[in-house]
Amino acid sequence: MSWIDTHAHLYSDEFLTDQQEMVKRALDAGVTTLLLPNIDESSITAMLKLEAAYPKNCFAMMGLHPCYVKPDVENQLRLIKDWLIHRSFRAIGEIGLDFYWDKSLLDQQYLAFKEQLQLARQYKLPVSIHSREATRECINEVKKLQDGSLSGVFHCFSGTLEEAKEIIDLGFYLGIGGVVTFKKSGLDQIVANIDLEHLVLETDAPYLAPVPYRGKRNESAYIPLIGEKVADIKNLKIEEVAAITSSNARKLFKTL
């Protein structure tokens, strides 16, 4: 079986002591494609270094995470734009809105999200959307700009079934990670009612590790545990989940 982790911060400091071993565990587990979303200007060097070390397995995105926008967001966005001119990336991400941690810079969050959606249209790239406690607002912003050219994934999906269907109608995928293994998350009920053709798998490593590693550092080698849970929910063979979700990821992120 071959798996794709569509969202993993494998360049983060949590992996400084064992990054090579961690990547090897992922490859040994059949997780052969690892997509790396950017955070802000401080994460670019480490992300590109990891991509360069594993050019057949690691693929970088470029974007500004909503939790890391600053009052001078225009300067942050200028750097993102410069990188997109400088070289190619697999997607625009991680972008979006976050109403959980801090609402003091909402204007900057909205500006960054809108401008990066426009960049996705300009460069014909998919987007990886962060929407913590802001799923409805993110859907609304995508709707305003969806002219048929926008594509992407609502990473770590945590909305309602109605919102899930709305996202699918917009031509987007739902990113399913370790939360689906949590007993009281309710995500299992969403997955049960959504066709597998609309799902991609992710870890969001080092965060949100699946059971039995919940509360510990997450890593890409745990993707099969997420796939196994999805297979159980949908009464499918795990091989089918691997094949279909990986095919979905290849369609979305192109030429993986």
Pairing of strands 3-5, 92-96: unpaired
Angle at 35 between CA 123 and CA 153, to 5 degrees: 65
> Which amino acids are annotated as binding site, given as ranges?
7, 9, 94, 130, 155, 204
**Measured between alpha carbons, how far is 244 from 208 in angstroms, rounded to an integer?**
23
For 19-78, give the DSSP string. HHHHHHHHHHTTEEEEEE---STTTHHHHHHHHHH-TTTEEE-B---GGG--TTHHHHHH
Question: Side by side, which strands form the sheet with 3-5?
Answer: 3-5, 31-36, 58-60
Using DSSP, state whether 203 is helix, strand or coil: coil
Cβ-proximal residues to 13 (8 Å cutoff; 6+ apart), any chain: none
> Which amino acids are annotated as binding site for a divalent metal cation, given as ranges?
7, 9, 94, 130, 155, 204
**Measured between alpha carbons, how far is 39 from 4 in angstroms, rounded to an integer?**
20
**Measured between alpha carbons, how far is 172 from 12 in angstroms, rounded to an integer?**
27
